[in-house]
Amino acid sequence: MAPVDLIPNFESPQPPAKYCVLSYPTPNVLLVRLNRPKDLNCINMEGHEELHKIWEWLDAEPSLSVGVITGTGRAFSAGADLKEWNNRNTAGQKREMVPSGFGALSRRSGRKPVIGAVNGLAYGGGCELIVNCDLVVASSNATFALPEVKRGVVAFAGALPRIVRTIGKQRAMEMALTGRTVSAQEAKEWGLVNKVVGDKEGEVVDAAIDYAKMIAENSPDAVIVSREGIKMGWEGMGAEDATRLANDVWFSRLQAGENIKEGVRAFVEKRKPKWKAAKL
């Protein structure tokens, strides 16, 4: 799928990308491809900083609605760059993670949705990345694991308290305490993955872009607020408190915008809405 060159239409310049490739396969969609295939797309500290700036740009750029992240080669991401980690340990240097966590996704709050297109193995931090993706599509040959216990470390990037809400205590314990590999089909049955597709090159990215197109066709305001409402429940807030907070904080902003008026007007006039960039 050839990328669409939207760069001249951006209000702010695209962030520099050294460890990943950015493209625009369809209007309003940013595709981020991790690009260290020889290292199984392990992410080093400079790579985390790079991704932090990319996701912040996605949230701020009016012409973009959805992000998709995938990997180059046979891996989505094998997690942390352990060679760099070992070198830092040897030199007595601390690993200062960006506040948005591993790959700037594992602790990201953000405004706009990000879809994981898991093309291969997603281990350690790579698995933590997809725990915080809003939707996940996996190739049939994709595999998932939290093998940190096998290396004497722990999944500290936010996956442990979050994955239990997605797949349940016993399954989360199984992944975190055994470190075993979970297949794509098993991950789908557990609720970690939305959809499993074939393993032909590009198939998983195309499926993720199909989801992204469906999202991008909707009101950008409504997408942001709906995502916030679900996240509040996922993060452990009670239904009543989350509903009240959504109404108190978000409804007035939504009501003041143009998109809610346009959506209702388009329905009455039996036409497709013409959305404006979100200003929430």
Read off the CATH number of the domain in which 151 is found: 3.90.226.10
Residue 252 lies in a domain: yes
pLDDT, residue 204, reads 98
Same domain? 211 vs 150: yes
Same-domain check for residues 83 and 191:
yes
Q: Tell me if 1 is assigned to some domain.
A: no
Do 95 and 231 fall within a single domain?
A: no
Do both 35 and 77 map to the same domain? Answer: yes
Structural domain contains residue 278: no
- Residues that are catalytic: 80, 125, 128, 148
**For position 120, what pLDDT does the model report?**
97
Same domain as 71, residue 22 = yes
pTM, two decimal places? 0.89
Q: Are residues 37 and 157 in the same domain?
A: yes
Has residue 123 been placed in a domain? yes
Q: Is residue 246 situated within a structural domain?
A: yes
Residues 208 and 224 in one domain: no
Residues 50, 171, single domain; the answer is: yes
280 located within any domain? no
> Are 38 and 71 in a shared domain?
yes
Do 92 and 23 reside in the same domain of the chain? yes
The whole-number pLDDT of residue 127 equals: 94
Q: Which residues of the chain have pLDDT under 70?
A: 1-8, 84-95, 237, 242
Q: Are residues 148 and 53 in the same domain?
A: yes
Shared domain check, 260 and 145? no
pLDDT at position 2 is 42
The 10s digit of each residue's pLDDT in 36-62 is 999 999 999 899 999 999 999 999 999
Predicted pLDDT at 252: 76
Q: Does residue 275 lie within any of the structural domains?
A: no
Q: What is the 3-state secondary structure (H, E, C) of the chain?
A: CCCCCCHHHCCCCCCCCCCEEEECCCCCEEEEEECCHHHCCCECHHHHHHHHHHHHHHHHCCCCCEEEEEECCCEEECCECHHHHHHHHHHCCCCCCCCCCHHHCCCCCCCCCEEEEECCEEECHHHHHHHCCCEEEEECCCEEECHHHHHCCCCCCCHHHHHHHHHCHHHHHHHHHHCCCEEHHHHHHHCCCCEEECCCCCHHHHHHHHHHHHHHCCCHHHHHHHHHHHHHHHCCCCHHHHHHHHHHHHHHHHHHCCHHHHHHHHHHCCCCCCCCCCCC
* Range(s) of the domain holding residue 254: 220-268
pLDDT one-digit tens code per residue, 100-133: 888 999 888 899 999 999 999 999 999 999 999 9
From the list 196, 142, 136, the residue with the least C-alpha distance to 167 is: 136
In whole angstroms, what separates CA 136 from the centre of its chain? 8
Q: Contacts for 159-162 with beta carbons within 8 Å, 24 or more apart? A: 159/106, 159/127, 159/128, 159/131, 159/132, 162/131, 162/132, 162/234
Q: How many domains does the chain have?
A: 2
Domain presence at residue 255: yes
